[in-house]
Structures are given as C-alpha cells and as structure tokens.
Structure 1
Amino acid sequence: MPVGIFRVCLVVITAIVNHPLLFPKENGTVPENTEEIIQKMKEREESLRLEQLRLEQEIAAQEATQKALEKAAEVVEESKEEKLWRQDFQEGNWQDMGGEEDDMAVLGKAFKGVAFPDKAVLASFYEKRILGTTGDMARMREMVEGFADDLLEALRSVCNRDADMEVEDCMGVGSMYENWRVRKPFVCDLIVPFAPPEPYCFRSQIWCSGDSFPPDEQGYGTIKVCRADEDVTGCICDKTKLGEDMLCLLHSQANPTRPSGEMEDLLCFKNTQYLDADQVMKWFQIAVTKAWNRISHKYEFDLSFSLLDSPGALKIKFRSGKSIAFNLTPVVQYENSDVYFISHFPRRGLAADLPSSTHWFLTFAVYERRFIQLVSKTLPANACHVSCLQILSFLHGKQCSLTGPSGLTNYHLKTVMLHLLQTRPSQDWAPEKLEARLQDMLKFLEKCLHEKKLYHFFVGNGKVPAELSLPIIFQRAEPLNLFRPFVLHRDVYRKTVDTFHEMLRNMPALINEYTVHIP
C-alpha cells in the first residue's frame, strides 16, 4: 500500500514539473489566449467519446456472440438428449434403474455424511406425523364430491342443451384419491369430461400419432370440432392443399366453410376449428357461476373462485371462517380411453406454459390411480410404497418452504414410485422394508437428476399391465422425458439439484424435529 501511494505522488510531481505553464522550456511558447487550449480539449473529448462508443459496440457484439454460442450449445445438448432417448427406445431400454455400484457412484457425494434415519425413527415419524391425516382426507373427499355432483347437475340445468357443451360426471384424481397427500391445505382435484352438442363431435390428434411435432409439443395434442358426418370417408381434401383447378366432388358443396361466429360459439380459436382451452375455461367459469346462483340458497356457505391463474380453483367458505379448496377442471376424453386432454394444470410447476391455447396436454391420472390400485392387490399387507411417497413428499415440501421452490414436483416423485413398483418384486414392499425402499427412491431420483432423464411412466412403456387397457399407441410411442426442461433451463436445474442435496442433509433433523415435537 505505501509503495502505491509513493507511485501516485511521483506521477503528480512529474506532471507538475513538466507542465508548460509553470516551467516553460526555453523554446516553448505560452499561448496568448485559451481558445487553442479549449479547442484541443474539445477535440480530445470528442475522440474519447468516439472511443467509448466503439468499445461499447464491441462489448455488445461480444455479448451477442456469447448468447448465440450458449443458445447453440443448448440446442446441441438437447439434440444429444433426444438421440439418447431414441437410442434407448430403439434398443428396448426402459428407464434404466442402474446397478447398486452405479447408484453409489452417482450418490457418493450426495449421501456423504448423511445419517439416514433407522427403521424405528421412520416408523415413529410416519405414525405420528402422517398417518393421522388419512381420516381427514376421507371426510373431505366425501363432502367435496357430494357438492360437486350437485353443482354439475345445476350446471346442466342452466345450459342450453342444443347449443352448449354437454357436461358429464366428475372424477377424482391425484394425491387425495391415491391416499398419499400429506401437506395441508388438502385440495381435491376433480376432472369433468365434456362433449360438444349434436351434430358435432371432437376429433383429436396427438403428438405420437405419426405426424411430426416439434420437441416443445411432445405430450400435447389438438382437438378439432367437426360434424359427426364430416370426413367419414377419410377424404384427403381436408389434409392437403388442392390446386386452384382441382375440386373435391364429395365435400366442396356438402360441407362449405362454416362461419367463424359459429365456430367461436363452439369455443374454437378464432377462424379455426380447433378447441381453445382459454375459451373453454371462460365458458366453464360462467356456467359454474350460473349454477351456483341457482342452488346457493340450499347451502350455508359461500363459493368463490380462489386463484386468478387457476380458472378452475374453487373455495368453499363457511360462516365459521373455515374453508375448503378444490379444483374442478374440464377435460376432453381421448377416443374411448381413460386418457384425457386437460385444459390446464392446477399448481403446475416447471414448463407450465402451453405452446398455444389450442394445444392440450394429455393426462394419464385415471390410469395412474388404477395402476396403483392394481399393484396394491399383489403387495403384502400394509405395504410401504405409499408410506415412502408420503415421507418423500413431506420432506421435499418442507425443504422448499425453507429454501424456495425447485423444479421437482410431487408428480415427479410419484413417477419415481411407479417405476419402482414395476421393477421391484412384491415382497420388497413389506412394511418392515420402509427404510430400504425410501433409500431406493432417493437413489433413483438422484440418478435421474444426474442424467436429466425421468421418463413418463406410461408413454413408451411396453410393460404396462394389459388389465389397464392403455391404448397401444402410447405404449409404442417414444419415451417422454419429464426432465427435458432441465436441459433448457440450467438455472432451474442447478436450483433443483441444490435443493435435493440440501433436503438429504436436513432429512435427519426434519424427521427428528417432527417426530418429537408433535402438538
């Protein structure tokens, strides 16, 4: 530090000594006026300004080049990921579980220094913290289902049967109906299938139907509103562009282009025949409001829409101040299966944005519930598969409340359980093996995060039990990677991995805290 001060002082002294106005040289001349000095200062200022501008342009160009390189790297990495997925699919590999040595190689750093709770502590934690919520869920489901049935019956009565959509009975899906939800407030998820009025019908096209869909539309489909007798012959005039001098003798006069107003009344996107999810939700909200106005006198509570960004989120408010929340979401059935196009996902996390309002995501929630019920019949009494999922969901939720949300969702955790249920022998899920199976889930999840690859359980899975009657088109499709967004959103990926590792480190403390201090 003293050396630096000495150097500064030396420079100042040298500048003063050599200043032409203080110590002019023998042949030096002092200007008679300051105009020349001012002019030189202006020229110097302009030169510096131009130099600064040039440097700013160079920096901006470098930043643009860097962004372009990062974007290109993301595209290359995404392309590599897709090639790997296709290679796995073509070679018959399905969500490689990996051997014990591979797992430990991946998990070495994550599990280093973690004191995993023993069987007794886990059993006590589950009994005191989680098991008591089962009865509350059953009572809430019964109350919500009864009210939803009454509300939908009133909705049918206020709708125009000749012009409005036809609403069917609702179905319960998700954690509340699979008996593994642990975090409060409890929220029931109900889906409501609907169909167009006669003589119209829905004709859907999904991403794995053979046509080329871009990567960001994998898992989606579109729904076209047609007349029931339209294109029944499979005519190609609706699929290809005919020349100006060509005419389809079957459909040119029989099915003239319908007015745009008629299609908008059928909740289609402007000037198209494709069902618009945004218009569907607006129609559904209006219809629910009218239905509630018709039956509100029968109930001693109020009903309102609880969230602006979730159009189907409803809340029952009692006079005592208590409330019950549930989601009522309109869906469209895919052909004659239990796969449904869903207009939006309540509480959706990573990559929640749809490509457009005419793209509908496909949900396999009904098949997931049926698969769990089917497998449960083959497992030992009081099997630990649901217990493992509940504990993992609880720990992850608590960690997110401490460090903020991550890219992992409860749906990812359930998918991990579904994969393990299919690969593990039935006897491995005995209640006394809770500790081992919970470690299996954590190891498998860590491996998937490391590889940025977690396949959808049903899409591309040729080992789905035949009893479920899952459409073969989904079993033969290429696997659908639920972790694909992590390839594109590196900041979210880093946050997710950090949160997961932090959860592992905090797991013993969280379990001990919520086991000892139970109110």
Structure 2
Amino acid sequence: MQAGIFKVCLVVVTTIVNHPLLFPNDDAAFPTTDDLIIQKLREREENLKIQQLELEQLLSRQEAAPENEVNTEDKEVEDGSQWDLWSTVSMVIFLVIEVWRQDFKDNNSHEPSKEEDDQLFIGNCCHGVSLPNKTMLAIFHDQYIRVTTHDAARTKEFVEGFADDLLEALRSLCNRDADMEVEDSICIGSMYENWRVNKPLICDLLVPFAPPEPYHFKCQPWVTDTSIDPDKQSYGTILVCGPDDKSSGCVCDKKKLGEDMLCLLHNPNNKKIENKDVNLLCSKNTNYLDTDQVMKWFQTAVTKAWSRISHKYEFELTFNNLDTPGALRVKFKSGKVISFNITPVVQYEDSDLYFISHFPPEVSSSVHWTLSFAVYERRFLKDFAKNLPDNSCHLGCLQIMTFLHSKQCHLTGPTGLTTYHLKTVLLHLLLNCPYSDWGNVMLEDRLRDVFKNLEKCLLEKKLHHFMVGNPKLPESVKLPEHFRVAEPLNLFRSFVLNRELYQKTLSMFYEMLKNATVVINEYSLHLPVGTINKNSTLSTPLCSQPA
C-alpha cells in the first residue's frame, strides 16, 4: 500500500514540475503563439495522465489480491523494497535536474544573444520617427545653407591662391637632386563639390610628390588582392625603388641606347647620387614609404616656405593639428580664422587615384596608405549634374543630412557613421533614380529615400564602396578597369567586427531622425505661422523587423 502511494506521488510530482502553465519559464525560449509547440506540450500532458492512470490500476489490482498467497508475498515485498529504493533515488535525481534546469533557464532569460539583443534594440527605435515637411526644408535650405555656401566661394578663392604661393616657395627651396619634388595642388572634398555646410569651412587640397631621379615609387594597392583581409583592402603600400631597379617601365631600362642618345626622362648623371645624400622617407630597415617620415618632412618644408614669403602677408600661419601633415590655420588681424588642409599624396601610376597619408587616423602601421577616389567622385558629381534639372536637390539632401549628423554628434559624440558614408549612400541613390526625380520640389521625397537607404545599410551592416566593384559606374568616370571589376568593399565592415560601435551608431542614427525637426527649427529664422507644428510623419515605418 505504501509503495503504491509513493508511486502515485512520484507521478503527480513529475506532472506538476513539467506542467507548462505552472512553470512557463521552462519553455520561455519558444514562441507561445506557435501552434505546433502548444500541440506537443498537450500531447506530453496526455501521456503523463495515461501513465498516472496505469499506476492507479496497478495499485487497485495489488490491493484486491488474495492474502493467502504467503509464498509469493515475501518475494513481492523484497522486490517492492528494491523498487522503492531505486524509485526514491530516481525521483531525487530527477528533482535535482529539474531545479538545475529551471535555474539555468532563469539565468539565461536575462542574457539574450547578440542577434536577439540587436533586434530588440532596433524594434524599440524605429517607430514614431518624423521629418520636417517640404515648407520647413525649403526655408531652412534658403536661410541657412545658401548663406553658408556663399561664404564658401570667397574662402576657396583665398585658399587656392595662398596654397599656390606657398608651394611655389617650397619648390624654390628644394634641391632637385636630393629632395622630394612637389607638384601643383588638387582641390577635392565637400567644399569643391559644393555641399559643405558645417562650420568652420575647411578646404582640402592634395599635393602629389615624387622622389628625385632616378628613384621612383611603386604603389601596391590591396583592393584587388584577394589574399588581404577585407577590412584592410582599402589600404596599400608604397615601395621606394632605387636606380638599379629595372621595374620603372621606361624603355631605357629595356634597350641599350647608343652613345649619342639620351633618355629624356632619366639623366644618367643622376645615378652617381649616393643613398646617404637622398632622404627617401622610408620606414626603418625597409624600402616602404613611411607616413610619419613624410609628415615630418612636409611640415619642415612648409615651415621653411612660409618663412620665405611671410613678409608678403599680414596674417599669422600656424599648424592647426600637429598629428596631420598640412593642417594649417590662417588668422587675420581682424580675428577671422580660415583653416585648410594640404595633404601630401602619391599618385597611383597614370590615374587620378592617390595614396593619402594619415587618413584615417586609426591605421595601425605607418607604412599603410589609404587609397583616395576623391578626384573620381568629384568628376562623377560634376558630370552627373549636367543631366539633372535646374536647381536639383541632390546636393541639398546631402547638406541637410551632414548638418543633422554633425549636430547629433555634438550631443552624443562621434560614432562609426561619417559624412563619407552619407555621401556614398547618396551616390548610389543617384544611379538608381531617374534624372527627373531630382527636381527642387522633390527635396522632401529624396531626403526620405536617402534616410531609408542608409537605415537599410545599417541594419544589414553593409555599405558598398561607390567606386570599387560597381558595375553601374558610368564609363565617363574613367576609373581603371581592375578597380571597376574588383570585389565590392564593405564600408560598414567595422560594424560586423565591433558590436558595441554598431549599437552606438544605430542609436545615434535614430536619435538624429527623431531630433531632425527640432534641430532644423532652431536654425530656421522667421518661420511662417503654423509651419513649426506641421511635421511630415513617415507614411510607412522606416524599417521592418529583420527576419
């Protein structure tokens, strides 16, 4: 009798512990609305009830058995005692396992996986986002952005003239047989693409340089090298080749010229120069061009050049940042300040690609140079604008985006999202929309499209480089073919490797959208009555929950 009661209690305890309604955390990892899961739980409950019924029937049969079976009773008692012992041990083990499983699931319920955490984070931020309406955007663009771009024209004119004078003085001080040869500056960036809006207005200029004859640079880009890690393919190295290196490609290296014939590019007298007389700016114990050595050389050369022409100007010239080669700052007696960057670069073969030093600042090795497509990007925007309607809104979209991004970064700090990423998203959208969709009256719609595309790229952690591996790139850009057919570069690769940076960037992006209307109102003057309170809420959510 006692053994039968014990068995019934064991089944009851088992049923209670495994009942899904009493212990919902047991299956918390599964969706409660899934019909298949619920059906399985019900089947398990029915099986437990059947087992309980069978044990009760067994108990009834044992109680009804005749008491005169004395010979078999002792054996049954002995077997029952053994069974009760093993049942007790099994129940204890089972209960310990159940308690441990409940505690394990309770602890794990507070530590969601990376994917679940990202989805919950995204789901909490993509609702209720609104953007300024068409009227507000037009007023803001006219009253703030157009005034800023008017000042940019005068700044560019001054910087270009002064840079030419400074570089000319630098050339006059160089020894052509032993010093680096500096070429004319190349204007790039937002100021010369006419979408710079954030102050201070900073002009960016590239200054190509080359070693004295008979030395030459051999650029080694990693974009087309599949053996390089994807996060390093936007870099490359620059090998400094000496006079005995036969890889210069000149015909005089491959054919023996007559005694009365000279190469117009290579003067044989220059081969007498010894290495100790030439500062080739190489990294220690290597033949690779070193960015730190280039920075020291260029800053010294600029200082000497300014000392030669400073008497002609009535302003002060200082270095704005000693960690970059040519970040200069002009301060007039009136107190006005103009900042600009002159960056030494190395040309890649005969193209408009340039290896740029000290960009971005997180490059770990001083022999790694970043490949810049800035000249091609400026050419694309200039050629593409010829087919757009008058007063097109494509640059206005980029200006508003960079303005909002800058203001939000002042509040939350810098993240993994840069103005170059914003520009890349716009460039991709230009190729995907008809020319007629970029009229001035379509500013609100195109701004909405750019934000939606940027959000999609952030959620997928994938933004392809506009130039590298882009089959839609027009032939008029004249990008070298091996860059056009290369594998696309993912500019959001850092988000895949750094989850904390990704969440911080995503949070900043949604905060920027939520604050867009308020920020634009603060910088818009004399708004008409009723305009401020009329926001253009997105008709559809900016994003959907990822699968």
TM-score, scaled to structure 2: 0.68
1:437-448 correspondence to structure 2 within 5 Å: 437-448=446-457
Equivalent-residue separation in structure 1 for 2:420 and 2:240 (angstroms): 31
Q: Which runs of structure 2 are paired with 1:403-418 in the superposition (5 Å)?
A: 403-418=412-427
Please list the CA deviations of residues 376-417 of structure 1 after superposition, one character each: whole Å capped at 9, or x if unmatched.
Answer: 001111110000000111111111112222211111110011
Name the aligned partner's letter for residue 394 of structure 1: F
Q: Give 1:366's aligned residue.
A: 375
Question: CA–CA distance in 1 between the matches of 2:274 and 2:232?
Answer: 29
> Which residue of structure 2 lines up, in the alignment, with residue 309 of structure 1?
323
Letter aligned with residue 493 of structure 1: Y
Q: Are residues 1:215 and 2:224 paired?
A: no
Q: CA deviation at 1:232?
A: 3.6
- SS of the residue corresponding to residue 518 of structure 2 reads helix
1:200 to 215, 234, 237: 215
Question: SS of 1:116's equivalent?
Answer: strand
Query: In the superposition, relative to structure 1, how do residues 288 and 431 fare at CA in structure 2: closer, same or farther (>3 Å)?
Result: same
Whole-angstrom distance in 1 between the partners of 2:144 and 2:514: 20
Amino acid at match of 2:282: C
- 1:142 corresponds to 2:157: yes
Q: 2:291 aligns with which of 270, 277, 280?
A: 277
Q: What secondary structure does 2:524 align onto?
A: helix
Instruction: Quote how far apart the aligned CAs of 1:371 are.
Output: 0.4
- Shift of the 296–477 alpha-carbon distance from structure 1 to 2, 3 Å rule, reads same
CA distance in 2 between counterparts of 1:432 and 1:198 reads: 56
Residue 486 (structure 2) aligns with: 477
Deviations 1:138-168 (A, max 9, x none): 1000000000000000000111111111000
Q: Given the alignment of the two structures, is residue 289 of structure 1 paired with residue 303 of structure 2, yes or no?
A: yes
Corresponding letter in the other structure for 1:133? T
RMSD, matched Cα:
2.4
The 3-state SS of whatever aligns with 1:192 is strand
CA contact (8 A) 2:182 2:208 kept: yes
Task: Tell me the equivalent position of 1:422.
Answer: 431
Could you report, residue by residue, the CA deviation over 1:187-213 in whole angstroms, capped at 9, with x for unpaired residues? 111110011100111111111344622
* C-alpha distance 110-379 of structure 1, shift in aligned 2 (>3 A): farther
Alpha-carbon distance in structure 1 between the residues aligned to 2:481 and 2:244: 26
Report how far residue 514 of structure 1 moved: 1.8
8 Å CA contact retained: 2:216, 2:248: no
How far 1:262 moved relative to its partner?
A: 6.3
- Aligned positions, number: 388
Q: Secondary structure at the match of 2:523?
A: helix
1:432/1:107 CA distance change after superposition, 3 Å: farther
> Which of 353, 358, 361 pairs up with 2:362?
353
**Which residue does the alignment assign to 2:477?**
468
Aligned position for 1:394: 403
1:227 and 1:482 mapped to 2: Cα distance?
36
Which residue of the partner structure matches residue 322 of structure 1?
Answer: 336
* Contact 1:166 1:197 (C-alpha < 8 Å) held by counterparts: yes
Contact kept in structure 2, 1:180 and 1:387, CA below 8 Å: yes
How far apart in 2 are the matches of 1:114 and 1:199?
61
SS in 2 for 1:327: strand
Report the more deviating stretch, 214-223 or 280-289.
214-223
Give the conservation status (yes or no) of the 8 Å contact 2:178–2:277.
Answer: no
Confirm whether residue 180 of structure 1 aligns to residue 195 of structure 2.
yes
* AA in 2 matched with 1:327: N
8 Å CA contact 1:217, 1:355 repeated in 2: no
Is the contact between residue 295 and residue 324 of structure 2 (CA under 8 Å) also seen in structure 1? no
- Residues of 1 paired with 2:248 and 2:285: CA distance? 25
Kindly indicate whether residue 499 of structure 2 is the aligned counterpart of residue 490 of structure 1. Answer: yes
> Residues 425-478 of structure 1: CA distance to partner in whole angstroms, max 9, x if unpaired?
101101111011000000001011101111110011122211121001111111
Structure 1: how far apart are the matches of 2:241 and 2:399?
44
- Supply the AA of the counterpart residue of 1:515: S
Superimposed CA distance per residue, residues 107-128 of structure 1 (whole angstroms, 9 cap, x where no aligned partner):
9865522232221111111111
Q: Distance in 1 between matches of 2:286 and 2:186?
A: 30
Deviation at 1:184, TM superposition (A): 0.6
Contact 2:231 2:494 in 1 (8 A): no
**1:233 CA drift (Å):** 9.5
Residue matched to 1:133: 148
Name the CA distance, whole Å, in 1 between partners of 2:141 and 2:164.
34
1:259–1:156: structure 2 CA closer, same or farther, 3 Å change rule?
A: closer
The correspondence for 2:350, drawn from 336, 339, 344, is 336
Tell whether the 8 Å contact from 1:313 to 1:326 is kept in structure 2 after alignment.
yes
The answer to whether the aligner puts 1:120 opposite 2:129 as a matched pair is no
- Tell me what 2:171 maps to: 156
Alpha-carbon contact 1:222-1:360 (below 8 Å) kept? yes
SS in 2 for 1:330: strand
Equivalent residue number for residue 299 of structure 1: 313
Matched residue, 1:99: none
Task: Map 1:70-89 to 2 at 5 A.
Answer: none
Counterpart in the other structure of 2:387? 378
Cα deviation per residue 1:317-363 (whole Å; 9 max; x = unaligned)? Answer: 11222211000100000011101000123xx5xxx322411111100
Deviations 1:56-99 (A, max 9, x none): xxxxxxxxxxxxxxxxx99xx9xxxxxxxxxxxxxxxxxxxxxx
Mapped to 2, the partners of 1:274 and 1:300 lie a distance apart of: 41
**Alignment correspondent of 2:98:** none
Q: Secondary structure at the match of 2:171?
A: helix
Quick one: structure 1 residues 490 and 317, their matched pair in 2 at CA, closer, same or farther if it must change by over 3 Å? Answer: same
- Distance (Å, rounded) in 2 between the aligned partners of 1:119 and 1:424: 20
Q: CA deviation at 1:172?
A: 1.0
Summarize deviations over 1:225-258 as a string: whole Å, max 9, x none: 1136623499xxxxxxxxxxxxxxxxxxxxx9x9
Shift of the 120–279 alpha-carbon distance from structure 1 to 2, 3 Å rule, reads same
Aligned-residue offset at 1:285? 0.4
In the aligned structure 2, how far is the partner of 1:223 from the partner of 1:259?
Answer: 21
In our comparison, the structure showing a higher alpha carbon Rg is: 2
TM-score calculated relative to the size of structure 1: 0.71
Rounded Cα–Cα distance in structure 1 between residues aligned with 2:274 and 2:367: 19
Kindly indicate whether the alpha-carbon contact (under 8 Å) linking 2:325 and 2:344 is maintained by their aligned counterparts in 1.
no
CA-to-partner distance for each residue in 1:481-501, whole Å, 9 max, x for gaps?
111111122222111111110
Q: What residue identity is the alignment partner of 1:340?
A: Y
Distance 1:183 1:503, change over 3 A: same
In the aligned structure 1, how far is the partner of 2:225 from the partner of 2:417?
A: 31
